[in-house]
């Protein structure tokens, strides 16, 4: 838990005191908070070992009783560079601090907030996010400590500012968003045997109980009665039954309603259209979209945001090649009656999303819809692991998502969605095929989903390239990134009608 400390750096006797320093155009970098520490920086800078570049750091162990130097066991100075000051810069600085602290087996630290010409709330929020995100480790299944690994997660991190009036909210919001993203990382890191559709349902119920939300779970019998044929078809090869989790967060009837839909494929073997064995273990991550929308709901509820009513739907199942598995060439009927020729059983995400989208729009009549899914390998070919693919039928919704992604350090890139792409999905025996040609695969996947949207403003986030192996940053671990949680949280926070 993050908090502001009443104890200043001079009186702090914990494991680590941290200062931030700007890189000057000329001269020596300064931390602006402590003249004695600046003296150390000057000596080290004269040797050419520290200039204040972004991410550069200086760690030293002060002598006890030396005048002006804090009494902590260690002092760390982290460079901020000389470019513009923004939340992403401070987020990365927070991640650097957390990483270095854990390498030194630090259990508690005090971060001195610098006096800089920038938005102080943005600075504090970014530092809070970076500290929490950068300290993340998943060690649940480790049975012994690795002597060469970094330490455990920080027990305590505090910030100190001479005047932190008005900054407590920024600190709290940064922590809430980052903790929710870490929860999504935890879900994704779990083995598929330990994160099943039933685990999604259990977590949804826990969130509802903790935050006064409503959770509904549609089991196999209810899905069949309602005619959600896409989810049922994908599930046919699995011994683990499907579940559709619906979480509702209501603020007031007059507020607009946002529907969030997240792909919850807890393991994707490809079905009969079996994936190659190399790397298939990563297909436990195919539920990152579902994790993102549930954890975004967690953050919104913790922050008690009042601008929007929210409904989150996670269609959850496995896609396995069991004896009753869906076969290439089979025709299924989606929710609402449209028929689909399943050409490739490995294009299953769109089948379960189509059901959830169509059902959610009809049942809840939302003012706008955002779906999040690790949907296509094609988006990685197009955008690599640096941007999430965005496709939409509404420019205003896109603009809001772009802004939220930029503020969150999770950039998006919009792809076209012209009618010509839908023609690639024409089937001779059904309303659609579930795949077209290889070219434009990310777009044709979205074009398939668009057929189940109607006129509702809708945006589709393809996170296949960013849900894991996201751009290397100090606050992004190897493996699952927790992508889209903070973007959705920011979207709701900054909603203005």
Cβ distance 464 to 391 under 8 Å? no
CATH architecture for residues 2-163: 3-Layer(aba) Sandwich (3.40)
> What pLDDT score does 108 carry?
95
- Residue pLDDT, tens place only, 46-85: 999 999 999 999 999 988 766 678 889 999 999 999 999 9
* Number of Cβ atoms within 10 Å of the Cβ of 329: 11
> What pLDDT score does 67 carry?
67
- Indicate which residue of 91, 185, 350, 407 is catalytic: 350
> What pLDDT score does 117 carry?
92
C-alpha to C-alpha distance for 263 and 24, rounded to whole angstroms: 47
> What pLDDT score does 150 carry?
57
C-alpha to C-alpha distance for 119 and 86, rounded to whole angstroms: 8
Task: Write out the two tokens for 52.
Answer: 């204040």
- Indicate which residue of 42, 73, 82, 275 is catalytic: 275
Residue 22 annotated to the active site? no
Distant-in-sequence, close-in-space partners of 241: CB < 8 Å, separation ≥ 6: 197, 219, 220, 235
Strands (E), 296-381: 309-319, 331-333, 339-341, 368-373
Burial (CB < 10 A; 0-12, 13-18, 19+), residue 71, is: middle
CATH class, domain 179-493, is alpha beta
C-alpha to C-alpha distance for 207 and 209, rounded to whole angstroms: 5
Residue 275 annotated to the active site? yes
Distant-in-sequence, close-in-space partners of 340: CB < 8 Å, separation ≥ 6: 230, 331, 332, 333, 334, 351, 354, 427, 430, 431, 432, 433, 434
Q: How many residues does the chain have?
A: 497
Domain extents in the chain? 2-163, 179-493
Closest CA to 116 of 149, 151, 159, 80: 80
Q: Which residues of the chain have pLDDT under 70?
A: 65-67, 147-153
C-alpha to C-alpha distance for 64 and 86, rounded to whole angstroms: 36
Closest CA to 468 of 263, 296, 260, 288: 288
Distant-in-sequence, close-in-space partners of 268: CB < 8 Å, separation ≥ 6: 275, 283, 286, 318, 319, 346, 348, 349
């Amino acid at each position: 838990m993050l908090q502001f400390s009443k104890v200043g750096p001079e009186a702090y006797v914990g494991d680590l005191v941290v200062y931030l320093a700007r890189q000057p155009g000329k001269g020596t970098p300064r931390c602006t908070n402590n003249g004695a520490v600046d003296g150390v920086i000057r000596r080290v800078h004269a040797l050419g070992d520290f200039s204040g570049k972004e991410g550069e750091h200086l760690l030293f162990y002060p002598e006890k009783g030396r005048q002006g130097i804090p009494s902590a066991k260690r002092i760390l100075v982290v460079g901020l560079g000389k470019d513009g000051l923004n939340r992403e810069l401070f987020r990365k600085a927070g991640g650097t601090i957390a990483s270095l602290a854990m390498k030194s087996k630090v259990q508690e630290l005090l971060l001195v907030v610098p006096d800089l010409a920038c938005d102080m709330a943005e600075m504090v929020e970014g530092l809070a996010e970076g500290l929490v995100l950068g300290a993340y480790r998943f060690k649940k299944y480790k049975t012994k400590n690795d002597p060469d690994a970094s330490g455990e997660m920080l027990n305590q991190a505090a910030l100190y500012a001479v005047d932190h009036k008005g900054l407590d909210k920024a600190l709290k919001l940064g922590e809430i968003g980052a903790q929710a993203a870490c929860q999504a990382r935890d879900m994704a890191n779990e083995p598929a045997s330990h994160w099943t559709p039933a685990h999604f349902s259990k977590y949804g119920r826990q969130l509802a109980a903790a935050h006064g939300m409503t959770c509904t779970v549609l089991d196999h019998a209810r899905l069949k009665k309602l005619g959600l044929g896409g989810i049922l078809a994908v599930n046919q090869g699995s011994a683990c039954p499907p579940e559709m989790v619906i979480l509702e967060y209501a603020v007031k009837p007059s507020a607009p309603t946002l529907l969030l839909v997240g792909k919850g494929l807890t393991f994707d073997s490809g079905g009969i259209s079996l994936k190659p064995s190399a790397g298939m273990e990563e297909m436990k991550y195919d539920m990152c979209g579902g994790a993102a929308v549930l954890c975004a709901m967690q953050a919104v509820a913790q922050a008690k945001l009042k601008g929007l009513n929210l409904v989150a739907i996670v269609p959850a199942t496995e896609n396995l090649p069991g004896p009753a598995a869906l076969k290439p060439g089979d025709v299924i009927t989606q929710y609402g009656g449209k028929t689909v020729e399943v050409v490739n059983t490995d294009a299953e995400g769109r089948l379960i999303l189509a059901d959830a989208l169509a059902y959610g729009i009809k049942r809840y009549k939302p003012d706008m819809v955002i779906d999040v899914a690790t949907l296509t390998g094609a988006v990685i070919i197009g955008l690599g692991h640096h941007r999430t693919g965005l496709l939409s039928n509404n420019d205003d919704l896109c603009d809001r998502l772009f802004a939220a992604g930029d503020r969150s350090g999770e950039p998006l890139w919009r792809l076209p969605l012209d009618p010509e792409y839908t023609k690639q999905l024409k089937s001779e025996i059904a309303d659609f095929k579930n795949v077209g040609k290889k070219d434009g695969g990310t777009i044709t996947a979205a074009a398939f989903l668009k057929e189940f949207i109607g006129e509702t403003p809708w945006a589709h986030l393809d996170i296949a390239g960013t849900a894991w192996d996201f751009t290397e940053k100090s606050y992004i671990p190897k493996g699952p990134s927790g992508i889209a949680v903070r973007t959705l949280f920011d979207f709701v926070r900054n909603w203005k009608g």
